């Protein structure tokens, strides 16, 4: 990046380090940090939406809908995350290609499932082999977001389901006594009240989601852990202009600091959000605020 980086062998220690930290691969490391942050920013609300849908379905009066909601929450929570990631990515990718195959290649006569092979027409492949690299990376990122959202949505659904049941029943009965319909009671009384009960569990789930981002490598996304391991390994002058020993300890220490700072910022934000939600509520936190203001 810098003009004095043309000959690394004659650089001073500070200049050598500045040139080393601005190589193309290090830029990929910095981009991967942005990828992780964007993944969290998209996955968190998407998982919350999946969880809310699962919780509402689990409370439904319609048996098939209720069974679907409870099954989604129970099955996904019961399967180890790493096993679900390894399975679901393949299943999701094949499901997309199967649907495209049915639409784009209706005249195809060969079986799609041929032993252990999954064979679709070339036009149904996702992404196409002729697509540019950014399309492949975007598709992989999309699959990662959807997989994370489905997995953590099940945990969010269990939290929200419990939070809905924790809302005092007299509040709902009072709303019904004032003539509110079941739908109005749900949206105006139950949903606003449940967040104060759900936030502690959702806070823990957010922390778990942050710690689960290194699983991105299972989905084909080159995340910060991948690049830390790649860049920190021993490099000789045969393979790079900036040879060094095994520096993985320093790279992983940097990741440790990054995650600790990120989780600390999250804790401060969630603590302030909890204080705002409990204000005026009939909870332990709300009672403590009333006593402090008295």
Residue 4 lies in a domain: no
Residue 7 lies in a domain: no
Distance CA 84, CA 148 (A): 10
105 Cβ neighbours under 8 A, 6+ residues apart? 120, 121, 123, 124
Residue scoring higher pLDDT (131 or 197):
197
Mean pLDDT value across residues 104-129: 80
Residue 49 lies in a domain: yes
What is the structure's pLDDT at 10?
A: 62
pLDDT at 238 over 70: no
Question: What's the Cα-to-Cα distance from 191 to each of 118, 186, 201, 232, 284, rounded to whole Å?
Answer: 44, 6, 16, 48, 19
Domain that holds residue 106: 17-293
Which SS3 state, helix, strand or coil, does residue 54 take? helix
Q: How many domains does the chain have?
A: 1
Whether this model's pTM surpasses 0.75:
yes
pLDDT in tens, 130-177: 778 778 778 888 888 888 898 899 999 999 999 998 888 888 888 888
Among residues of the chain, what percentage have pLDDT more than 70? 89
Tokens of 248: 């993985």
Residue 274 lies in a domain: yes
What is the structure's pLDDT at 107?
A: 83
Residue 1 lies in a domain: no
Which CATH number covers residue 177?
A: 1.10.3720.10
Residue 5 lies in a domain: no
Distance CA 179, CA 205 (A): 37
Residue 3 lies in a domain: no
Residue 248 lies in a domain: yes
What is the pLDDT of the chain when averaged over all its residues?
A: 83
278 Cβ neighbours under 8 A, 6+ residues apart? 196, 285, 286, 289
The 8 Å CB, 24+ separation contacts for 229-234 are 230/25, 231/25, 231/26, 231/29
Residue scoring higher pLDDT (99 or 289):
99
């Amino acid at each position: 990046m810098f003009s004095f980086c043309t000959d690394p062998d004659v650089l001073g220690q500070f200049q050598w380090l500045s040139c080393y930290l601005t190589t193309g691969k290090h830029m990929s490391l910095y981009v991967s940090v942005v990828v992780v942050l964007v993944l969290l920013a998209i996955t968190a609300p998407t998982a919350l939406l999946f969880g809310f849908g699962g919780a509402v379905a689990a409370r439904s009066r319609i048996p098939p809908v209720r069974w679907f909601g409870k099954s989604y929450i129970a099955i996904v929570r019961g399967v180890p995350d790493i096993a679900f990631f390894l399975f679901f990515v393949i299943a999701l990718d094949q499901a997309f290609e199967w649907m495209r195959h049915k639409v784009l290649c209706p005249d195809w006569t060969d079986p799609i499932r041929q032993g252990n092979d999954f064979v679709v027409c070339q036009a149904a492949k996702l992404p196409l082999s002729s697509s540019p690299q950014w399309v492949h990376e975007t598709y992989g990122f999309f699959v990662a977001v959807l997989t994370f959202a489905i997995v953590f949505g099940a945990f969010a659904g269990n939290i929200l389901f419990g939070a809905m049941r924790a809302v005092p029943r007299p509040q709902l009965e009072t709303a019904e006594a004032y003539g509110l319909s079941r739908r109005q009671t749900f949206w105006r009384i139950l949903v606003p009240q449940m967040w104060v009960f759900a936030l502690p569990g959702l806070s823990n789930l957010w922390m778990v989601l942050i710690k689960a981002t290194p699983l991105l490598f299972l989905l084909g996304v080159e995340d910060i852990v991948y690049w830390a391991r790649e860049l920190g390994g021993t490099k000789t002058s045969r393979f790079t202009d900036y040879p060094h020993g095994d520096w993985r300890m320093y790279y992983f220490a940097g990741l440790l600091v990054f995650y600790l700072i990120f989780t600390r910022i999250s804790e401060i934000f969630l603590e302030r959000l909890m204080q705002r939600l409990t204000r005026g509520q009939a909870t332990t936190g709300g009672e403590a605020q009333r006593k402090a203001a008295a």
